[in-house]
Structure 1
Amino acid sequence: MPNNLFHALQDAVKDSQQKRFVTSPSGLSLSYGDFFDLAARYATALQSHGIEKGDRVLAKTAKSIHSLALYVSCLQQGAIFIPVNPLCSEEEMSYLINDAAPAIVVLDPDSSVATDIATETIGPSGTLSKLASKSPPLTEHALSSSEDTAVILYTSGTTGRPKGVMISHRALMANGSALNQLWGFSQSDILLHTLPLFHVHGLFVAMHCAMFSAAEVIFLEKFSVSETIENLAIATVFMGVPTYYSRLLSRGDFTKDICSGMRLFTSGSAPMTEQTHHAFHGRTGHKILERYGMTEAGIISSNPLHGDRIPGSVGFALPGVQMRVSNEERECNPGEVGIVEVAGDHLFNGYWRKPKETAEVFRNDGFLVTGDVGVMDEDGRLRLKGRNTDLIISGGENIYPKEIELHLDDVECVVESAVIGISDDDLGERIVAVIVARGIFSEQKVKEVLENKVADFKFPKEFIIVEELPRNSMGKIQKSKLRDAYNEQAPYEGESRNR
């Protein structure tokens, strides 16, 4: 087995250099040979900046073939790639730069950031891209080991501050090769890629499955119902979040005929309702394959490619993954509800510069405590029941309420707040802020304060004004009561509500 991810990807495509790899609606089309040549030129450009093995490259860029090539160039260089959401706010970006301490920050040409660290831009008019176009391809390969960190992905924590999840070459190779075999990928596949590149789902699950099998990728810059319907007719595999599927189903021109060449639809990053699962099957004849994963562990379990795909179930542990359901004292029996715990080569290396937080999520026997509540049947099939954290998953994005609450509570007209997720047919969950107001509540004031502090997708869709927040005997806010109460209310009509 290759000793790092770059060598593994090179080996996988060594006999497919002339084969088409990736195409985009902009007209850019690259073979595998052309793509790795582009990545090698970016590696030379990074080297000219003094980037060495172990240095961190933070990229806040829109999804593009260039940003994908930058990722692979970091693998070749032995640098640690840190992709961040291009929608993150100035304050969020400042925190990420201070925490990650990158050697270079890469942005889109129309972006800027306040930092003393070297910055470059990427894309057709980008400064780093122009430098790469004039540079020879790097022929050297860093001698990264399988245990070295390849990528750091930032994920929000219950404290409100994101934590850097260090993901090794070992973990990415183990997960990628397992999924490639489990889902039956081959050179003849054409993956329709509409996911972002700053998540496990889009960067690792989708791209690694394609590259490990030398498959072709139709590379859309973002999910668009119209573009997706247009390209499904020539694709064989589609990966999405539940919101993508509900939006496809809302279109009358999304028909069974359009999906006639498809062999696989997968869904993850958020729970899918049984209604969506059944409606999609009824419309297209395809049963969506649901799987389960997290940033710290990659993909943990999956429904089978061949066999029953049961709505509400996330299937069986992947090959090489140990999975159990436990309570504080023991491993649960089949049918008992507990916390999902996992072990295997797919696990992360730890949280960047946070050894205490890392130790807190591992058992003494090396199992990672996922924080997800689940139940396993006698056959080993897992069903998730919820989360033992306040995490909100809206439109496939992970959002921790504390991050929003810290800013809401600073607003003059807010005494205190509780941010919760409410069931939503389109987004899975929509963000609702329950507010104890000081005087007259002003949604405009809140918008002004939050504008540059949180990304747009984290902004509450609804504000509910209450006299007090429910608390237990220890004074802790009982968010479960808020979720239960407001999930039963009528759909939101766009105005703040008093309760």
Structure 2
Amino acid sequence: MDNSADIYDANLCRHLKKAATVQPFDLAVAVQKYIKGSYQYQELNFAELETKSNKIAYALTEYGIKAGMKSVLMVTPSIEFFTLTFALFKAGIIPIIVDPGMGLKNLKQCFAEAQPDAFIGITKAHAARRLLGWGKKSIKLYVNVDSPIEAPSFRTAKSLLTGAVNLSSLLECYSPFEDTKPEFPINWLRADDMCSILFTSGSTGTPKGVVYSHRMFEAQIDALKNDYKIESGERDLATFPLFSLFGPALGMASIVPDMDASKPITANPTHLFAAINQYQCSNVFANPALMDKLGQAGEARQQKLPSVKRVISAGAPVSIEVIKRFSQMLNTEARVINSYGATESLPVSMFASDELIMTSSLTDSGAGICVGRPVSGVTVSIISITEDNIKTWSDGLALPANQIGEIVVSGQMVNQSYYRRENATLHSKVFDPTTKAMRHRMGDLGYFDDDGKLWMCGRKAHRVDSVIKRYYSIPCERIFNTHPSVRRSALVSVKINNTITPLVCIELEQSLACSHASVLYSELITLAEKFETTSGITDFLIHPDFPMDVRHNAKIFREKLSVWAQKKIG
């Protein structure tokens, strides 16, 4: 940490303000809608985004949502999502951003923990809020994000349904004063002040509120500029709402395709290809499952994406096969970049596809997945596996190369605490007396090789400590995934004769039946004995359809599989 604790000069909106001055008429946001067989696009340039977010900031503050208050923001990727988010940042209002795909029960818990003062959302979100009682103990101000072109009677009905004032009505109420008001004054914060709460998806555990500061956002912007080489004037196909916000901050246009951002796997590839071609996107952000879907569609129709020079994948490890298939659509100089990180620290490391492909044989032999080298400004260490809290960091905790342990990261983009989750903070954060900042325990296991590259071996919670040896999820599973009948596998822990035993659940390739399970199991046992990583694994079960996380469709709910497997074996 630096000595700027009492300097109020931080706000992400400074980048938008700069872009609105330097490149006012350049495209900032475009939102695609597929209506009656044709594509329609709503657009804003940087000057318009700056002006509209100023107006909304005035309207919200005059309505009573003031600096320092917390507001839920549940708006689908749209023009309003961008204008509202930047308005909240400008006004110093703390947006609470959740993933709708986490489930209704988790959403209610998140709002209860965050204790928001306001709720800004679309009509559907407000209806759910009223029906399920989200945040009813703390929320006092409600804003419904409606369309200003709707008939007054329809807008009135929406207001009655949601119990909220319509955003269009707020803007109309304060519009007579627009000409007399100066540009909205940015609410400057200290670099480490809380400026947003982002809840983790819950795909690897209970959702937790990650406290974001402007220092974190600034560090992420620096990484995108310096490590990913994103430049002003580029255009990005934005399939993930949070990443799309970095577009305007980078002077890059965010092109939002017509898709359900909470369920990317359901996206229509035709819509995404059309958006890329319409705006000649140079950057594409897609998780591995979406990359796979686009790659398969591209291969089937011989699709080419000549404008794309960079594809960024995050959320889960992307396979070599998916990269190779997707790359068929790209020019030879285009890069596919696999990013490793988490909501608490993103990015941590990155690895380009050409290098990743060279590690595939090691991955298939149980070495884990190589996630590259740390990005600029991030320090990564490996510590011994323990469930104990670690209060204070010392360099003696770090393990040497080629020893598997828990991944610990430090740097400007590492968050310092969870919101109102003291136990989670104590378990995941380690105070570094040298930097006076927290290091973050990723909850992932991995190691450094002799060349300084980081390898990932799966979640700490997913290891299996048997009486014989310790097994790691990703190294084991990647070996079994090489069998031609296996679509994917999952290492779980079960008890057999009261002894913790590794068992591997198998999901078959879709074209195969499980009529010869005993033959498959025998072949998998033989395969397991070829590698030290998997030797000793003799128990397998075929599962018809793995439970997966909604957003990434790549994170397997091993906890559910473990319960299922235990019941199956009695």
Superposed pair shares fold, TM > 0.5: yes
When residues 110 and 358 of structure 1 are mapped into structure 2, their CA distance, relative to the original with a 3 A threshold, is closer
Aligned twin of 1:60: 74
Aligned twin of 1:229: 273
* Cα displacement (A) at 1:370: 0.6
Aligned twin of 1:462: none
SS in 2 for 1:30: strand
Provide the C-alpha distance between the structure 2 equivalents of 1:159 and 1:211, rounded to a whole number of angstroms. 30
1:211 aligned to 2:259? Answer: no
Provide the C-alpha distance between the structure 2 equivalents of 1:80 and 1:353, rounded to a whole number of angstroms. 15
SS in 2 for 1:351: coil
When residues 431 and 224 of structure 1 are mapped into structure 2, their CA distance, relative to the original with a 3 A threshold, is farther
Q: Which digits, 9 at most, give the CA deviation of each residue in 1:400-450, with x for residues without a partner?
A: xxxxxxxxxxxxxxxxxxxxxx9899xx98999x9xxxxxxxxxxxxxxxx
Aligned twin of 1:302: 350
Provide the C-alpha distance between the structure 2 equivalents of 1:147 and 1:429, rounded to a whole number of angstroms. 42
Amino acid in the other structure paired with 2:170: L
1:168 aligned to 2:213? Answer: yes
Instruction: For 1:139-154, list aligned pairs within 5 A.
Output: 139-154=184-199
Aligned twin of 1:401: none
Q: Which digits, 9 at most, give the CA deviation of each residue in 1:95-129, with x for residues without a partner?
A: 22221111111221234113542322114257124
Aligned twin of 2:325: 279
When residues 180 and 53 of structure 1 are mapped into structure 2, their CA distance, relative to the original with a 3 A threshold, is same
Aligned twin of 2:449: 377
When residues 252 and 102 of structure 1 are mapped into structure 2, their CA distance, relative to the original with a 3 A threshold, is closer
1:128 aligned to 2:167? Answer: yes
1:16 to 23, 31, 48: 23
* Cα displacement (A) at 1:390: 4.8
* Cα displacement (A) at 1:379: 3.1
1:350 to 413, 417, 434: 417
Amino acid in the other structure paired with 1:388: K
1:470 to 494, 512, 522: 494
Provide the C-alpha distance between the structure 2 equivalents of 1:243 and 1:213, rounded to a whole number of angstroms. 26
Q: Which digits, 9 at most, give the CA deviation of each residue in 1:223-261, with x for residues without a partner?
A: 431111222332111010011111112225666762112
User: Would you say the 8 A contact 2:122–2:146 is kept in 1?
Assistant: yes
* Cα displacement (A) at 1:380: 2.3
1:7 to 11, 14, 26: 14
Provide the C-alpha distance between the structure 1 equivalents of 2:207 and 2:238, rounded to a whole number of angstroms. 27
* Cα displacement (A) at 1:34: 0.5
User: Would you say the 8 A contact 2:446–2:457 is kept in 1?
Assistant: yes
Provide the C-alpha distance between the structure 2 equivalents of 1:383 and 1:301, rounded to a whole number of angstroms. 10
When residues 47 and 313 of structure 1 are mapped into structure 2, their CA distance, relative to the original with a 3 A threshold, is same
Q: Which digits, 9 at most, give the CA deviation of each residue in 1:161-190, with x for residues without a partner?
A: 432110111011111122122222223311
Aligned twin of 1:30: 44
1:389 aligned to 2:389? Answer: no
Provide the C-alpha distance between the structure 1 equivalents of 2:219 and 2:167, rounded to a whole number of angstroms. 32
When residues 48 and 386 of structure 1 are mapped into structure 2, their CA distance, relative to the original with a 3 A threshold, is same
Aligned twin of 1:338: 405
* Cα displacement (A) at 1:46: 1.5
User: Would you say the 8 A contact 2:408–2:442 is kept in 1?
Assistant: yes
Aligned twin of 1:450: none
SS in 1 for 2:209: strand
Consecutive unaligned residues in structure 2, runs of 5 or more = 34-40, 149-154, 156-165, 260-266, 360-368, 386-395, 433-437, 464-479, 509-539, 548-563
User: Would you say the 8 A contact 2:68–2:94 is kept in 1?
Assistant: yes
Provide the C-alpha distance between the structure 1 equivalents of 2:481 and 2:53, rounded to a whole number of angstroms. 42
Amino acid in the other structure paired with 2:70: R
SS in 1 for 2:380: strand
Provide the C-alpha distance between the structure 2 equivalents of 1:359 and 1:142, rounded to a whole number of angstroms. 31
Provide the C-alpha distance between the structure 2 equivalents of 1:123 and 1:430, rounded to a whole number of angstroms. 45
Structure 2 length normalisation: TM-score?
0.66
Aligned twin of 2:475: none
Consecutive unaligned residues in structure 1, runs of 5 or more = 198-202, 392-421, 435-468
Provide the C-alpha distance between the structure 2 equivalents of 1:160 and 1:257, rounded to a whole number of angstroms. 38
Amino acid in the other structure paired with 1:324: S
Aligned twin of 2:64: 50
Question: Between Structure 1 and Structure 2, how many residues are aligned?
Answer: 420
Q: Which moved more, 1:47-56 or 1:151-160?
A: 151-160
User: Would you say the 8 A contact 2:194–2:212 is kept in 1?
Assistant: yes
Q: Which digits, 9 at most, give the CA deviation of each residue in 1:49-70, with x for residues without a partner?
A: 3222221010222221202221
User: Would you say the 8 A contact 2:378–2:411 is kept in 1?
Assistant: yes
Aligned twin of 1:463: none
User: Would you say the 8 A contact 1:157–1:163 is kept in 2?
Assistant: yes
User: Would you say the 8 A contact 2:507–2:546 is kept in 1?
Assistant: no
User: Would you say the 8 A contact 1:287–1:309 is kept in 2?
Assistant: no
Provide the C-alpha distance between the structure 1 equivalents of 2:105 and 2:445, rounded to a whole number of angstroms. 33
Provide the C-alpha distance between the structure 2 equivalents of 1:171 and 1:81, rounded to a whole number of angstroms. 15
User: Would you say the 8 A contact 1:13–1:213 is kept in 2?
Assistant: no
SS in 2 for 1:147: coil
Provide the C-alpha distance between the structure 1 equivalents of 2:225 and 2:312, rounded to a whole number of angstroms. 13
Aligned twin of 2:466: none
User: Would you say the 8 A contact 2:490–2:504 is kept in 1?
Assistant: no
Provide the C-alpha distance between the structure 2 equivalents of 1:133 and 1:58, rounded to a whole number of angstroms. 23
User: Would you say the 8 A contact 2:305–2:329 is kept in 1?
Assistant: no
When residues 173 and 256 of structure 1 are mapped into structure 2, their CA distance, relative to the original with a 3 A threshold, is farther
Aligned twin of 1:415: none
Aligned twin of 1:186: 231
Normalized per residue, which structure has more helix?
A: 2
User: Would you say the 8 A contact 1:301–1:317 is kept in 2?
Assistant: yes
* Cα displacement (A) at 1:264: 0.5
* Cα displacement (A) at 1:89: 4.6
* Cα displacement (A) at 1:78: 0.7
SS in 1 for 2:461: coil
Amino acid in the other structure paired with 2:311: F
* Cα displacement (A) at 1:472: 8.0
SS in 2 for 1:25: strand
User: Would you say the 8 A contact 2:489–2:507 is kept in 1?
Assistant: no
* Cα displacement (A) at 1:265: 0.9
* Cα displacement (A) at 1:318: 1.2
Q: Which moved more, 1:363-372 or 1:255-264?
A: 255-264
